[in-house]
Amino acid sequence: MKPAFRKILPPALFLAAAGILCGIALFRGRPPQEPLSETGLQLDTAVTVTLYDSSDRSLLDRCMELCGGYEQLFSRTLPDSEISRLNRGEISSLSPGTCALLSEGLRYSALSDGAFDLTIGAVSALWDFSSGEGEVPDPAAIAAALPTVGWEKVEQNGDRISLPAGTQIDPGAIAKGYIADRLKEFLQENGVESAIIDLGGNVLCVGGKPDGTPFRIGIRRPFSDASDSMAVLEVVDRSVVTSGVYERCFEEDGVFYHHLLDPETGYPCDSGLLSVTILSDSSMEGDALSTACFVLGLEKGMELAVSAGVEAIFIDEEYGLHFTPGFSTPCTLSDETKN
Ligand code: ADP
Ligand code: MG
């Protein structure tokens, strides 16, 4: 080694090492990055995706595009969606996404013994719970639509499906969960490890917070503001889905009508409950089961939740909370709930 190098090398090595150590120190002490969030009106509801460990805004745009794409498949209000065309008898073979959604929908219809019924479409189309101008439908129209409801009459063979005349598919009680699961897959494929996907209250967590602590997800007090929680759950990497009577409803002649229908009667289900929340790995499972357990009521709904291996919180009409046995997700009750 030349003498000049011999003189320069030790200080150079020292500076390089110091630089690396400073870099590590700066990196470790770096303030946590601000969450990156986008909200859009999609799927008839407010969709919010929040990334906690990425500053790549294009991922959020792609999530909104994915929602838009699924809306083109699953919507019942868009006349050219795949479901609308299927319901009009114009097609019998399905794209892979719709095929997967419907076979899962039929599976949960069977599992819940028809409390959740994917073929409730002709009945649910008679009700308007969204516009704020809903009225009770003509009882004769409900009576005429009821015989078209019956998941067991649907024949599905691979990507081909055949519906009896008049039978209409309503994927509304399962689609948001299915889409949330697809968004989570997309984010994870793109390296995201900490995010919240919120499709109108269907919440799906990707991991926990970047500092390793769980996300805190509130269970809304029925009929109160979304910020008024009866309990707060600590959730890592799971789905929290609620079906509640207060979501879409109206009052007529002093009677309260809500959007969770009894497939036996065609009218809002009087199950003695205000809401059911399901905690599960799959958001589609949570979506299907929250509707099914609500319609089944406390006793049978609890049995279904237990047999499906999910955790659930039922809120009864007296605002009493009922947890599945052995409920182990950390949960803090609000002071009002405790009293
Ligand atoms: P939300 O859409 O408010 O999250 P749900 O997931 O429980 O609530 O889905 C309710 C929607 O599902 C209704 O708006 C209706 O379209 C449909 N639906 C209502 N009752 C049933 C039922 N018993 N089985 C299957 N779908 C139902
Ligand atoms: Mg549902």
pLDDT score for 44: 84
Predicted local distance difference test score (pLDDT) of residue 26: 43
Residues with Cβ < 8 Å from 329, sequence gap 6 or more? 233, 234, 235, 238, 279, 311
Domain boundaries, the chain: 11-55+194-338
Ligand 1 pocket member 124 (CB < 6 A): yes
Largest CA distance in the chain: 103
Ligand 1 binding pocket includes 112 (Cβ within 6 Å) = no
For the Cβ of 119 lying below 6 angstroms from any atom of ligand 1, the answer is no
- At residue 103's C-alpha, the angle toward residues 329 and 280, to 5°, is 5
Q: Assess whether the C-beta atom of 285 lies below 6 angstroms from ligand 1.
A: no
Distance (Å) from CA 243 to ligand 2 centroid:
6
Closest to 286 (Cα-Cα) out of 209, 191, 179: 179
Residues 6+ apart with CB under 8 A from 207: 193, 194, 195, 236, 237
Angle between helices 57-74 and 175-189 (to 10 degrees): 150
Rounded CA gap, 136 and 178, in Å? Answer: 30
Q: Best of 291, 294, 300, 314 to mutate for ligand 1, by most ligand atoms within 8 A of CB?
A: 291
Of the bound ligands, which one is closest to the alpha carbon of residue 288?
A: 2
Spatial separation of the C-alpha atoms in residues 151 and 281, rounded to whole Å: 25
Instruction: Calculate helix-pair angle for 96-111, 175-189, nearest 10 degrees.
Output: 130
Superfamily for the 11-55+194-338 domain: ApbE-like domains (3.10.520.10)
Q: Whose CA is nearest to atom 8 of ligand 1?
A: 243
Counting ligands in written order, which one lies closest to the CA of residue 201?
1
pLDDT of residue 206: 98
Check pocket membership of 295 for ligand 1, CB cut-off 6 A. yes
Which among 107, 248, 261, 293 is the best mutation to test ligand 1's pocket, defined by most ligand atoms within 8 Å of the CB?
Answer: 261
Ligand 1 and 198: CB distance under 6 A: no
CA of 176 to the centre of ligand 2 (A): 8
User: In 3D, which of 213, 242, 214, 238 has the Cα closest to residue 230?
Assistant: 242
- What is the atom index within ligand 1 of the atom nearest the CA of 262? 23
43: Cβ below 6 Å to ligand 1? no
Calpha distance 193→222 (Å, rounded):
32
Per-position pLDDT tens, the chain of length 339: 454 545 555 555 444 444 444 344 444 444 567 999 999 998 889 999 999 999 999 999 999 999 999 999 999 999 999 999 999 999 989 999 999 999 999 999 999 999 999 999 999 999 999 888 999 999 999 999 999 999 999 999 989 999 999 999 999 999 999 999 999 999 999 999 999 999 998 999 999 999 999 999 999 999 998 889 999 999 999 999 999 999 899 999 999 999 999 999 999 999 999 999 999 999 999 999 999 999 999 999 999 999 999 999 999 999 999 999 999 999 999 888 877
Q: pLDDT value at position 16?
A: 47
The answer to whether 323 touches 313, Cβ cutoff 8 Å, is yes
SS3 181: helix
CB 319 within 8 A of CB 222: yes
One-letter amino acid identity for 5? F
The residue whose C-alpha atom lies closest to atom 26 belonging to ligand 1 is 173
The amino acid that residue 279 corresponds to is L
Ligand nearest to the CA of 246: 1
State the distance from the centre of ligand 1 to the C-alpha of 5, rounded, in angstroms: 76
Q: Which residues contact 45 (CB under 8 A, 6 or more apart)?
A: 176, 199, 200, 201
Question: Distance from the CA of 170 to the center of ligand 1, in angstroms?
Answer: 8
User: SS3 sequence, 264-325?
Assistant: CCCCECCCCEEEEEEEECCHHHHHHHHHHHHHHHHHHHHHHHHHHCCEEEEEECCCCEEECC
Burial class (CB in 10 A: 0-12, 13-18, 19+), 109: buried
**What pLDDT sits at residue 252?**
93
Q: How far is the CA of 244 from the centre of ligand 1 (A)?
A: 10
So what's the pLDDT on residue 6? 55
Q: Which of ligand 1's atoms lies nearest the C-alpha of 263?
A: 23
Question: What are the start-end ranges of the H helices in 114-194?
Answer: 121-124, 139-145, 175-189
Residue 178: what are its φ and ψ, rounded to 5°? -60, -45
